[in-house]
A and B are shown apart, each in its own frame.
Chain A
Amino acid sequence: MDILLHLAAGFEAALTVTNLLFIALGIALGIVIGVIPGLGSVTAMAVLIPLTFYMSPLVAIAFLVGVNKGGTSGGAVPSILLNTPGTPESAASAFDGHPMACKGQGGKAMKYSLYSSVTGDTLSDLLLIALAAPFAAIALQFGPLELASVLFFAFALLAGLASESPLKGLIAIFVGIFLATIGLDPIDSTPRMTFGEVELFDGFPLTGVAIGALALSSIFEQMTTLHRYGERRATASLWANDRAANRLTAGEFFSHWRTIIRSAMIGSGVGMLPGLGVTLAAFLSYGAARRASKDPSSFGKGNPDGIVATEAANSAVVGSNLIPTIAIGIPGNIAAALLIGAFMIHGIVPGPFMLTMHGDIIYALFASMLIANFIHLAVGRVGISIWAHIARAPRSAVLPPVIALCIAGVYLPNQSMFEVAVMLGFAVLGLLMRHTGFSIVCLVIGFLLGGMFEASLRKTLLLYKADFSSVFSSPISVIFLALGLVVLARAFRKS
């Protein structure tokens, strides 16, 4: 029970007033930044790191953990209320969250979202604390071949999930992958389809593509509806005055325990593999929840299970992506990379020896993460009553500022007008896709993971000298490829 002793010492170090206040501040700032379309936890952390120069190491890292947690859950707010995902990872929350809001249950949907975030996060934090070392050993087994197989499985699952026809889903995914090939070739660094533009060397910027296609196109669509039918018919009240409609009891929430646990596992699994990312976790979990449901057709029409699945999974990534960071010093995603930067500034060298050399700080960090979950619950709960005012405000007053926020959010991280132009272009493409039944989500995921899919596929071909029998040397890869084929075949049979 060595771990418990260390953890007790960690709690002792972490339970200071300063620490608690800064965690709360971090969560609040994270949520606010996460709510703005285009800005997520990554930007929030990058912007706030300089503030931490003046804090002690533990306070600084706990503060950033708070920012990361808040930023990941904040994106769900605009998804639910406005059908405009603040971050790509919360796009799936809009599927069921927005229909719930349209029935006047915006408050209830946001409570579902917050509670699932916190529970998923807590489960994944516990996994991290108990199992960092053995999990890192498993994660190390995922080389290029295994990653390519996992991605194939993910694409197969999404094609059947996000679109009415799996064929249209596949087409959207492949357009996304095609768009991801623009820029410097990951193997030979040859510029592809860049037309000599240096801005395009790294391809289309992800935030521009995601916010344009997912959020801005939805705003344009809503404004057209507003213009055509007027305020009253376009939207009913998102927040019924009847308090009962927006009440969510603990019993009602935990009746979704199957989805919560499944999603936390999916989120933790994706989180410990470097590079796969929060968005994939969210969609895989949404897909799994729909497949497991007795009534899959209720998804997308306001089934709370959809929100629970998405938010529990994307928040579960927050804890588990620290597994590779703490066990071998390799960040699981950009947010973890920023944390590593903060570790270094404060004198902790990330690497395989972090736990032995800086055990006291690491366990205090674990304790802070667990404490942060409770604070998150409280801060998020206060936030919901603030967002209620936005939900009650007329659409014609809310939508125009959101457009300004989209532009600012996409411009700010790299101060690039090019990214704003990309966002506007993809907003138009998104509108076209909405009207032709092609899934925007499939396009964005294809784009998001396309670069990684190409790189791991081509690395596999190089590593194994294009010998296809090498697939059978890896059980992990065989399992995922087979699952992918089964999922794809079933999706086509159903349609």
Chain B
Amino acid sequence: MKTSSSRRSLLAAVAVVAIGSVFGLATEAWAGYPDRPVTLIVPYQAGGSTETLARVFAKALGDQLGQPVIVKTRPGGGGAVGSTEIAASAPDGYTIMLSGSDPLTWTPLTLKVEYDVDSFTYVAQISEYQQAIVVRQDSPDTSFEDLLARSKQQAGLTYADQNAMSRAFLEYIAGKEGIEWTGIPTKGGGEMVPLLLAGKIDFAWSGGIHGRYGGQIRVLASMNAERLAASPDAPSIREKYDISMPGHMLIVGPRGLAGDVVARLNMAIEAAVKDPGYLDLLENKLLFPSKFVGSEALTEDMEATISSLRTVAQVAH
């Protein structure tokens, strides 16, 4: 239903543009971007927190741009399928993507895919995944140091990871500490939580789902660069190991996006993240912080991120 109506509005828009260009080329001189609907790719399965957020965000962004923003999910390969599609699309600003940073950085650094870390234009960051090392509330470990001490006495404590990057970072810490952990892969928070709550594993990596389990899950350490706002007492792994996992939630386009298009998008995104409906969903329901980092600062940040990821990738592989 949605698809056919969006297809129809797309056709209508194409027709309008065609007629417009016939009746006067003068329009082209002042008609700015965007003059037709923009497609927002989400490289994850429908139903997850990113896709849920994208639906509400797309509406807010569309209001700002004055053109509808159509969400299109392209799940697969942990985000690699959608990333391949955006990398190969025309750099005209009519196809952009909302995703985490790992398919854009970690995947091309460690797997053979048809794009690399330079294939994208970083448009803006809109939020941050709340990554952490977590345990069950009744776990004997009350702090990250407790967990390390127990790991040294008891080889092979088990943890649940959720993707290749989370595993690599935990293995990196284990290597630094000279301890041995056994990773159990899970496909996401929905699979990790039952394992943790049933006591089948000792600890887990969490991308932010722990925020919904208040009294049942305890945060031992933040895997982000900073401590998590909701758990200010748990240290960040950056304090101890000088590494941290990039947790950007990003808007990107293909390489070579024109400067004025990026500027227009930046303006619209900065206004869209202040939309009350979107803010309520993000901060009160998903418990993610709202954030806006524009293209220039973000591009610098991503360059630093990529070079630190190379370090971990080299150790892990």
Binding site for B on A (CB under 8 A): 46-51, 53, 139-141, 143-144, 184, 186-187, 189, 191, 196, 198-199, 201-202, 274-275, 324, 328-331, 334, 337-338, 340-341, 344-345, 347, 349-353, 412, 414-415, 455, 459, 462-463, 465
Among A191, A201, A329, point to the contact of B212 (Cβ < 8 A). Answer: A329
B111: A residues at CB distance < 8 A: 189, 191
B184→A351 contact, CB < 8 A = no
Query: For residue B81, which residue of chain A has the nearest CB?
Result: A198
Cβ contact within 8 Å between A344 and B216: no
A345 CB to closest chain B CB, in angstroms? 6
> In the complex, what's the smallest C-beta–C-beta distance from A405 to chain B, in angstroms?
14
Q: Is the CB of A274 within 8 A of B190?
A: yes
Contact between chains at B190 and A330 (CB < 8 Å): yes
Chain B interface size, under 10 / 10 to 19 / 20 to 34 / 35 or more:
35 or more
6 cross-chain pairs, A with B, having the tightest CB-CB distances, nearest first: A201-B77, A351-B212, A337-B47, A202-B76, A140-B198, A143-B200
A129 to B126, CA, bound (A): 40
Which residues on B sit within 8 Å (CB–CB) of A140? Answer: 194, 197-198
* Contact A46:B47 (CB < 8 A) given known A199-B76, A330-B193, A463-B200: yes
Judge whether A143 and B195 touch: CB under 8 Å: yes
Q: Which residues of B contact A144 (CB under 8 A)?
A: 184, 200
B72 and A198 contact, CB distance less than 8 A: no
The smallest C-beta distance from B121 to any residue of chain A, in angstroms, reads 20
Q: Are A184 and B46 in contact (CB under 8 A)?
A: no
Complex formed: what's the CA distance from A201 to B212 in Å? 31
CB distance from A196 to the nearest CB of B (A): 7
Cβ B46 vs Cβ A46 within 8 A: yes
Interchain CA distance A46-B55 in the complex, whole Å: 11
Contact: B75 with A414, CB < 8 Å? yes
Q: Could you tell me the distance between the alpha carbons of A46 and B72 in the complex, rounded to whole angstroms?
A: 12
Assess whether B190 is in contact with A198, with CB atoms less than 8 Å apart: no
The answer, yes or no, to whether B56 is at the interface (CB within 8 Å) is: yes
Q: How far is the CA of A337 from the CA of B48 in the complex (A)?
A: 7
B191 at interface by CB-CB < 8 Å: yes
19 new A-B contacts, CB < 8 A, other than A201-B81, A344-B285, are A50-B55, A184-B78, A186-B187, A187-B185, A198-B113, A199-B81, A202-B77, A328-B193, A329-B212, A330-B190, A344-B49, A344-B52, A344-B286, A345-B281, A347-B280, A352-B213, A415-B72, A459-B185, A465-B182
Q: Which residues of A contact B46 (CB under 8 A)?
A: 46, 338, 341
Which residues of chain B from 36 to 61 have a CB within 8 Å of any chain A CB? 45-49, 51-52, 55-56, 59
User: What's the minimum C-beta distance from A460 to chain B, rounded to whole angstroms?
Assistant: 10
Tell me how far the C-beta of B100 lies from the nearest C-beta in chain A, rounded to whole angstroms. Answer: 15
Interface contact A340-B47, CB-CB below 8 Å: yes
Is A345 a contact of B185 with CB atoms below 8 Å? no
Q: Which residues of A contact B75 (CB under 8 A)?
A: 202, 414
**Beta-carbon contact of B80 and A198 below 8 Å:** yes
Q: How far is the CB of A322 from chain B (nearest CB, A)?
A: 14
* A-contact 0/1 string along B178-212, CB 8 Å cutoff: 00001111010011011101101100000000001
Asked whether B185 lies within 8 Å of A186 as measured between CB atoms, the reply is: yes
User: Quick one: closest A residue to B84, CB to CB?
Assistant: A198
Given the known interface contacts A351-B212, A463-B201, the answer about A328 and B194 at a Cβ–Cβ threshold of 8 Å is yes
For the complex formed, measure the closest distance between the CB of B10 and the CB atoms of chain A, giving whole angstroms: 13
- Whether B2 contacts A47 by the Cβ 8 Å rule is yes
Please give me the residue from chain A that is nearest to B82 by CB atom: A198
Say if the beta carbon of B176 comes within 8 Å of chain A. Answer: no
Q: Which residues of B contact A189 (CB under 8 A)?
A: 78, 111, 163-164
Q: Which residue of B lies closest to A44 (CB)?
A: B1
- Within 8 Å by CB of B213, from A329, A331, A338, A341, lies A329
Chain A to chain B contacts (Cβ below 8 Å), 13 pairs: A47-B3, A140-B194, A141-B198, A144-B200, A189-B111, A196-B112, A198-B77, A199-B81, A202-B77, A341-B47, A344-B49, A350-B212, A415-B3
Known contacts A196-B112, A198-B114; is-contact A465 B197 (Cβ 8 Å): no
Q: How far is the CA of A455 from the CA of B185 in the complex (A)?
A: 8
Task: Kindly state whether residue B156 has any CB partner on chain A within 8 Å.
Answer: yes
Q: For A199, list chain B residues within 8 Å (CB).
A: 76, 81
The answer to whether A47 and B1 have CB atoms under 8 Å apart is yes
Hey, which chain A residues are within 8 Å of B216, CB to CB?
A: 352
Cα A201 to Cα B201 with chains together (Å): 28
Residues 249-295 (chain B) with a chain A CB within 8 angstroms: 280-281, 284-286
* Residues of chain B within 8 A of A191, CB atoms compared: 111-112
Binary CB contact string for chain B from 2 to 14 against chain A (1 if under 8 A, 0 otherwise): 1100000000000
Q: A189-B111, A328-B193, A463-B200 are in contact. Are A345 and B73 (CB under 8 A)?
A: no
Q: Nearest-CB distance from A355 to chain B (Å)?
A: 14
Question: B55 contacts A462, CB within 8 Å?
Answer: no
